[in-house]
């Protein structure tokens, strides 16, 4: 039996934007040198820093498998999930910059106040609305399900919304994630309140604020075609649901 090659470790410099509202007037950058493996993720680095170097470092995370969406942050200037960003996919010949997502109030270090994001989400009525009370399963055809399947993948991480330049400059804009979740119900054949959601999104802070920069689609860790979904909602506002 041949010997298994030893996995090599290497040092990666992480420069993290820190902020403690109890002691700091402005955010500042702090660097950490961390021993990593190519199979490690950015979340692993944050854990090592918090557990072994500086216990005051604050960030959100839960499942660590790209499902909960709680560890969205800016890594080298791009919105990503820390648990899905492999070290081997980064240029570690340079420092790795990590900071909180933009456009939402900064609370501490990599943590932002998500309430404005969820307020927009709640406003589009993100739940099935129907007067029907079927006595058995409400059947959908594969084609009917496929119509909105892509937008069911949203995990509400806010990566798309906080990558949007319009959202950065206009705190009233619903943002891509809210529109994606409206899309999921607007095109659901079982739902009866599509027009209500379309009327909400036809407001001045709705779909017409989108400038089609594709930042949202590029930022989505689930691969949702966010810009396409927004375009389909725009078409539904003008022509009705098809």
pLDDT grade for 213, boundaries at 50, 70 and 90: very high
Check which CATH number belongs to the domain holding 69 and give it. Answer: 3.10.20.30
Does 119 share its domain with 221?
yes
Q: How far is CA 38 from the centre of its chain?
A: 24
pLDDT bracket for residue 205 (50, 70, 90): confident
Is 216 within 8 Å of 209 (Cβ atoms)? no
User: 60 and 36 share a domain?
Assistant: yes
pLDDT at residue 100 greater than cutoff 60? yes
Q: Alpha-carbon distance 165 to 88, whole Å?
A: 29
Q: Is 55 exposed, middle or buried (0-12, 13-18, 19+ CB in 10 A)?
A: exposed
Residue 106 counted as domain residue:
yes
Residues 98 and 67 placed together within one structural domain of the fold: yes
Q: What's the predicted TM-score (pTM) here? A: 0.92
Are 100 and 201 found together in one domain? no
In a domain, 177, yes or no: yes
User: 189: domain CATH number?
Assistant: 1.10.1060.10
What is the percent of the chain with per-residue pLDDT over 90, rounded to a whole number? Answer: 87
Tell whether the model's pLDDT for residue 193 goes beyond 50.
yes
- Is position 2 within any domain? no
Q: Which domain holds residue 47?
A: 10-112
The secondary structure element, H or E, covering residue 176 is: helix 176-186
Domain check: are 126 and 91 in the same one?
no
């Amino acid at each position: 039996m041949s010997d298994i090659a030893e996995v090599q470790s290497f040092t990666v410099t992480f420069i993290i934007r820190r902020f403690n509202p109890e002691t700091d007037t402005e955010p500042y950058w702090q660097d950490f040198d961390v021993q990593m493996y190519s199979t490690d993720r950015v979340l692993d680095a944050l854990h090592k820093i918090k557990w072994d170097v500086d216990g005051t470092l604050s960030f959100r995370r839960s499942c660590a498998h790209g499902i909960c969406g709680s560890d969205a942050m800016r890594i080298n200037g791009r919105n990503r999930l820390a648990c899905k960003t492999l070290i081997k996919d980064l240029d570690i010949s340079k420092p790795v910059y990590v900071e909180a997502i933009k456009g939402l109030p900064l609370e501490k270090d990599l943590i932002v106040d998500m309430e404005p994001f969820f307020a927009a989400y709640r406003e589009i009525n993100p739940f099935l609305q129907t007067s029907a009370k079927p006595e058995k399963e409400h059947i959908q055809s594969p084609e009917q399900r496929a119509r909105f399947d892509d937008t069911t993948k949203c995990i509400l991480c806010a990566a798309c919304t906080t990558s949007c330049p319009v959202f950065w400059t206009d705190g009233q804009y619903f943002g891509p994630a809210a529109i994606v979740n409206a899309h999921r119900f607007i095109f659901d054949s079982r739902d009866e309140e599509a027009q209500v959601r379309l009327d909400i999104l036809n407001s001045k802070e709705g779909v017409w604020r989108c400038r089609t920069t594709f930042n949202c689609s590029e930022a989505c860790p689930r691969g949702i075609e966010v810009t396409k979904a927004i375009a389909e909602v725009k078409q539904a506002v003008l022509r009705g649901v098809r």
